Structure 1
Amino acid sequence: MSLCRCLSLGLLFSVSLTLYGCGDDNPAATNSAGFAGLGQDADGFQHAEPNRAISFPQDHAAHPDYRIEWWYLTANLEDADGEPLGLQWTLFRQALMAPSERPDPTPWAADQLWMAHMAISQGEQHQVAERFGRSHSQAVLTTPDDSQAGVIASPFQAWLDDWQLKASDEADSTNFDNLTLTAYSGEGDTRFGYSLTLSAEGPLVLHGEQGFSQKAANGQGSLYYSQPFWQIEGDVTLNGETKTVSGRGWLDREWSSQLLDARQSGWDWFSIHFADGHKLMAFQLRSGGGSESSDDSEQSSGYRSGTWITPQGDATPLTTDDITLTPLATSTVAGRDVPTHWRLEVPSVAVDINIEAPHANRWMTTSVPYWEGEVVVNDRASGAPLGEGYLEMTGY
C-alpha cells in the first residue's frame, strides 16, 4: 500500500469517527443525536418520504443525494457436519456533504465515504474485519476499476476494493436474483472470509408503506426493501480451514438522510426465517438510553415496526401496536449489558416466540461498535423449535 493511500485512509478513518460519533468510549454514540449520529440534522440532503416509488433495477444502486445508505447481508448457514455458522457482509455509504456543497471531481476530491464490515461466527469464534474507501458522487461507474468503492445497478455490483457482491456471470444484466459474494481478510493461518453464491427463491419485499419505513412518530423514516429468500452455498475459511457451507440469507437495502429521531439512541432489529417458510422482520427504536424513559416526550420517541412475509413473498406491514418486544435476559458483552434473550409477540399472526442468541460474544469491534449475531427461535408455550435468524442491537 502506498504512503498516499495510507494517509488518505487514515484521514477517512478520522472523518468517520467525527461523522458517526463513535468509538467504544465515545458518549456521542448514544447522545441526543441518536446512535452513530443517525439522528443529526439533514438539511440540504434528499429526504425519504412516502409515495416515492421504488424502482428496480435502478434502486439497487447508490443514492448519493441521501446522507446514509447500506447493503446488508446476514446468513444462517451450516457446514458439512451440520454445525451452525453465521455470516455478515455490509457495505455502508455516508455522504460527507450536501449535494450543493460538493466539489468538482478531481483525484483528491471525495464527497462519499464508504465502510464495509464482514464477520464469520461459529461457536465461540467471532472474526470481524473492516475497510474504508472513498468516491465522488459524480464519478461515472461501470466497473470496480473506476473507483475504490461504489455500487451500480446493471449489471449489479457493490464493492470496496476486492470485497465484492455482484451479479453472477451467467445472470441477466438487470437480474438481482443470482449474485456472488467474495470477501477475505488476513494472511496465512489468520486468513478468514468466504466465496459464496446467492440464489433468490422468492421476490423482493417492500417494507412499510410501499417501501417507506417510518421510524418515528413525527414521520421520519427510510426507503427500505429486502431480499429474504436467499439460498446460499459456497466456501468459508476460518482459522486456516476452508469449509463447504449452505443455508439461508437475508439482504436489507435501506437509504435515508435522517434515520432516527434526535431522541432515539439505537435499535433492536430481528430477521426471522420460520421453518414453515414464513419470515418476519421486526425492529424497535429506543428512546433515551438503553431503557424507555418515564417522560412522555421520551416515550413517544420509541417506535416499533415490522413486516410479516408469507412463503410466497406477500407482505403485511406491522405497526407499533401490532408488536410487543420484551427483553428476558442480558449478557455482559464488551463491558455492556446487552439483551440476548427476547420475547416477541405479534398476536395478529399468532406469533408468540422466544428469540435467543446461542453465543453472546457477537460484538462487532468496528469503528461503529454494535452487536450482531445468530439467534434461534422457539415457541413460547411449548418450547418447540420454530426457526432461526439474526439480531442486531445498536446504541448500547
Structure 2
Amino acid sequence: MRIKRVALIIALLLGGCDQPAPEQKGFAGMGDQAQSFTPVVPGRVFSFPADHGAHDGFRIEWWYVTANLKDQQGHDFGVQWTLFRSALKPGAEQTGWGSQTVWLGHAAITSGAVHHAAERYARGGVGQAGVQLAPFEAWIDDWRFASQAPDPLSEMQLSARDKAFNYQLRLTSSRPLVLQGDKGFSQKSEEGQASYYYSQPFFHANGTLQIDGQTYTVSGPAWLDREWSSQPLTANQTGWDWFSLHLDSGEHVMLYRMRQKDGAPYLTGTWIAADGQIETLRSEQITLTPQDTAKVAGRPMPVKWTIDIPDKHFTISVDALNRNAWMNLRIPYWEGPVKISGSHPGQGYLEMTGY
C-alpha cells in the first residue's frame, strides 16, 4: 500500500485553484468515492507484459521496488524506488498540458547509521514522467526502472540520485511473478474495497550505491510490488502496516494490516513457498503484535514486531535496521529495511503510514 495526502499533492501541482480542496475521507483520501473510475472486481485475467504498464480508467497505481543489500564487508543497506500515477479524471492519457495525470516519485537509501529520502513530482503528458512498454521503462526525471528484455521482469535496471545518495542496480529473476490475494484481486476491507496486485519477490539485485560520498558494491534480494485501484480504502481506514519478507529458507511472506478508526484492523497476507506456490493467509491465521516503539519525527512508531503464523510453525521478531527511517517528504511515512530472527531468519522491508 502507498501514498499519503494524494489530494493535497494534486492541489499543489495544479496550482492556481480557487476552490479549497474537499475534505478527504479515510487515509490519504483513498476512501473517497470514485464512481466515475473503473472499479476493481474479482475475476480479472491478467495479461503480461501489458499489465506492467499504466491502466487508464483507474484512479491510482504504483511501481514499487525495495532491496535488502549487503556490501563485501557484510554491512546492511536498504534501497527503495517508487513511482506513483494519480489520475485527476478517468479516461485515456492526454498529451501536453491537457494531461489529467499527476506523477510522484520517491527514492530512499538506508544503512544502520543514516537514512536519506528524496521526491520528485511531475504533470503527465509532457515527457517528464511516465511508463511505456516495448521496451519497458518507468521514469520520473532521471530516475529509471527499465528493461530491454522481451520479458521485462527477467532483467531490470534501477537508478535514482539525489544530493546525498545515488544507486544503480541490476535486478534479475527467472521465476514467475506472484498474483496476490484471489488471483490478483487483493481485498483491503470487509466492505470489499480492493486493488489489483501482483509482486515479483524473487529478484536478485547487484550494483553500486553511494551514501554521503562513499561508494559501496552491493548485492541481495529485491521485491517489486504493482498495484492499481480506484478506491482501495474505506472512509474509516486510517493507515497501514505492510511487510515484505525474504526468508533464508527460500520462502517469502507478504502481510498488511489496515488500521481503522473503529473496529479491528483488516489483516491478510500471502505465504510464498520456496518453489513459488502461494497460499493466501487469513486474519485468524496471523498474530501481528508491536513489541517496541521509538520516537521518530516526534511520534511513537512501532519499530519492532512479532509475527506468529502457527499453521506454518512460524514465530519471528522483525526489527528495523534503522529506527529513524522516516520519509521526511511532503508525503511523510516510515519505510525501511528490517532484520528477521526466530524460527525463520531473514530480511525484508516494513512500511507504516498514518501514525
Deviations 1:273-305 (A, max 9, x none): 1101000000010001xxxxxxxxx215x2011
Question: Which one of the candidate residues 362, 367, 373 is aligned to 2:330?
Answer: 367
Task: Name 1:3's counterpart in structure 2.
Answer: none
Q: How many angstroms apart in 1 are the aligned matches of 2:24 and 2:279?
A: 32
1:127/1:18 CA distance change after superposition, 3 Å = farther
Q: How many angstroms apart in 2 are the aligned matches of 1:251 and 1:107?
A: 30
Q: How many angstroms apart in 2 are the aligned matches of 1:209 and 1:287?
A: 23
Contact 1:204/1:228 (CA < 8 Å) preserved in 2? yes
1:17/1:371 CA distance change after superposition, 3 Å = farther
Task: Name 1:266's counterpart in structure 2.
Answer: 239
Q: How many angstroms apart in 1 are the aligned matches of 2:16 and 2:243?
A: 28
**What is the aligned-residue RMSD (CA, Å)?**
2.3
Q: CA deviation at 1:358?
A: 3.0
Contact 1:17/1:367 (CA < 8 Å) preserved in 2? no
Deviations 1:190-213 (A, max 9, x none): 4x1111100014220001100000
Task: Name 1:175's counterpart in structure 2.
Answer: 152
Task: Name 1:23's counterpart in structure 2.
Answer: none
Deviations 1:45-102 (A, max 9, x none): 0111110111111100011311110011111001121100011000011001233xx8
Task: Name 1:194's counterpart in structure 2.
Answer: 167
**Aligned structure 1 segments of 4 or more residues deviating by more than 3 angstroms:** 15-19
Q: How many angstroms apart in 1 are the aligned matches of 2:335 and 2:162?
A: 19
The answer to whether the aligner puts 1:162 opposite 2:139 as a matched pair is no
1:295-374 aligned at under 5 Å gives the runs 298-299=262-263, 302-374=265-337
Contact 2:60/2:85 (CA < 8 Å) preserved in 1? yes
Question: Which one of the candidate residues 191, 209, 221 is aligned to 1:248?
Answer: 221
Q: CA deviation at 1:312?
A: 1.6
Task: Name 2:12's counterpart in structure 1.
Answer: 14
Q: TM-score, normalised by structure 1?
A: 0.82
Q: TM-score, normalised by structure 2?
A: 0.92
Structure 2 residues without counterparts, runs of 5 or longer: 1-8
Aligned-partner residue type, residue 130 of structure 1: E
Task: Name 1:5's counterpart in structure 2.
Answer: none
| SS of alignment partner, residue 58 of structure 2 | coil
Q: How many angstroms apart in 2 are the aligned matches of 1:206 and 1:38?
A: 22
Q: Name the count of aligned residue pairs.
A: 344
Task: Name 2:186's counterpart in structure 1.
Answer: 213
Question: Which one of the candidate residues 100, 103, 107 is aligned to 1:111?
Answer: 100
Question: Which one of the candidate residues 30, 50, 54 is aligned to 1:62?
Answer: 54
1:236/1:18 CA distance change after superposition, 3 Å = farther
Contact 1:36/1:368 (CA < 8 Å) preserved in 2? no
Q: How many angstroms apart in 2 are the aligned matches of 1:258 and 1:18?
A: 26
Aligned-partner residue type, residue 330 of structure 2: S
Which range moves more in the overlay, 260-269 or 320-329?
320-329
Task: Name 2:162's counterpart in structure 1.
Answer: 185
Structure showing greater Rg? 1
Task: Name 1:4's counterpart in structure 2.
Answer: none
Question: Which one of the candidate residues 35, 48, 68 is aligned to 2:40?
Answer: 48
Q: How many angstroms apart in 1 are the aligned matches of 2:107 and 2:14?
A: 18
The answer to whether the aligner puts 1:153 opposite 2:133 as a matched pair is yes
Aligned-partner residue type, residue 135 of structure 1: G
Deviations 1:11-40 (A, max 9, x none): 967148999xxxxxxxx9xx9722221111
Q: How many angstroms apart in 2 are the aligned matches of 1:65 and 1:243?
A: 42
Q: CA deviation at 1:232?
A: 0.4
Question: Which one of the candidate residues 108, 127, 131 is aligned to 2:120?
Answer: 131
| SS of alignment partner, residue 28 of structure 2 | helix
Q: How many angstroms apart in 2 are the aligned matches of 1:327 and 1:45?
A: 36
Q: How many angstroms apart in 1 are the aligned matches of 2:43 and 2:37?
A: 18
Q: How many angstroms apart in 2 are the aligned matches of 1:244 and 1:328?
A: 34
| SS of alignment partner, residue 103 of structure 2 | strand
Task: Name 1:387's counterpart in structure 2.
Answer: 346
Contact 1:334/1:363 (CA < 8 Å) preserved in 2? yes
Contact 2:168/2:209 (CA < 8 Å) preserved in 1? yes
| SS of alignment partner, residue 97 of structure 2 | coil
Higher-helix-fraction structure: 1
Task: Name 2:73's counterpart in structure 1.
Answer: 81
Deviations 1:223-272 (A, max 9, x none): 00000001000010111122111011011000011111110000000011
Task: Name 1:295's counterpart in structure 2.
Answer: none
1:274-285 aligned at under 5 Å gives the runs 274-285=247-258
Identity of aligned residues (%): 45
Contact 1:156/1:176 (CA < 8 Å) preserved in 2? no
Q: CA deviation at 1:162?
A: 1.3
| SS of alignment partner, residue 81 of structure 1 | coil
